Amino acid sequence: MPDLSQATPYADGKILKQITDGVGVITFNNPDKRNAMSLEMWEGFGEALTALRDDDSVRVVILRGAGGKAFVSGADISQFEKVRHNAAASEEYGKRSAAQRALLADYPKPTIACIQGFCLGGGMQVAMLTDMRIAAHDSQFGIPAAKLGIAYGFDGLRHLVSLVGPSWARLLMYTGMRIDSAEALRIGLVERVIPDDQLWGETMAIAETISHNAPLAIKAAKITIAEVLKDESARDMNAIKAIGTACMDSADFREGRQAFMEKRRPQFRGK
């Protein structure tokens, strides 16, 4: 587990940020409520994401939950009576957390969700917005919107359908059921399932591998995959061409070729 004593706090310490060897880590730190997200936590999360985005030393970002019981167990429902009690209030609530979701959806650096315990509702949305999901054996997943009378939004369902397909999306949404990590892996909701005591080490190993690869090449893959997922009429082929040209003209491409010829590990700088 990361050493949280050196972390930078946001949202009164309920969001923590730290950097280790090119890997940024954001921890949802509200274990008494199984890391349920309040509006203040959403706003702190956005601040932490922005700080890591703008730090050139950071190549990849991991999201995780504190306490070992949950990644994020959903929205903090105790706030709903005050901030989400009807359609108008819920729309305002959605606007206040939409900026942070958009920031994660369009994040320029690779993102990894490291999931242990409950990953429910809004927590599933956060996890689905990352580039990949690594889960512990004890993880549980679900979207209980139908049990609360909530309409889960378009973006959340678009991501769910893109990962698991429409039929599994319907089964999860209509029933509000929870599934375990084995089922989540089988349907494509997560990419890897790791024994609980090895989760952090394996997640860091993947992050470090990514951080040592060429940032522009990774950015090219990220941009191109995002365009593949759009309707053909909405695709920005010029963006794909531009990042491809940037890669081929980069010092990193020269370094990659040279390191291969010299049988050494390349030192990429993202330029």
Q: What is the pTM of this model?
A: 0.92
| pLDDT over threshold 90, residue 262 | yes
**Using one digit for the tens of pLDDT, what is the confidence trace for 156-200?**
899 999 999 999 999 999 999 999 999 999 999 999 999 999 999
H helices, E strands: number in the chain: 12, 11
Q: Residue 186 has what DSSP assignment?
A: H
Answer for the pair 53, 108: CB distance below 8 angstroms, yes or no: yes
| pLDDT over threshold 60, residue 218 | yes
Tell me the DSSP string of 67-100. Answer: SSSEEE--B-GGGHHHHSSSHHHHHHHHHHHHHH
**Using one digit for the tens of pLDDT, what is the confidence trace for 106-134?**
999 999 999 999 999 989 999 999 999 99
- Per-residue pLDDT band for 95 (boundaries 50, 70, 90) equals confident
End-to-end CA distance of the chain: 32
Query: What does the block give as tokens for 107?
Result: 């994040």
- In CATH terms, the fold of domain 4-211 is 2-enoyl-CoA Hydratase; Chain A, domain 1 (3.90.226)
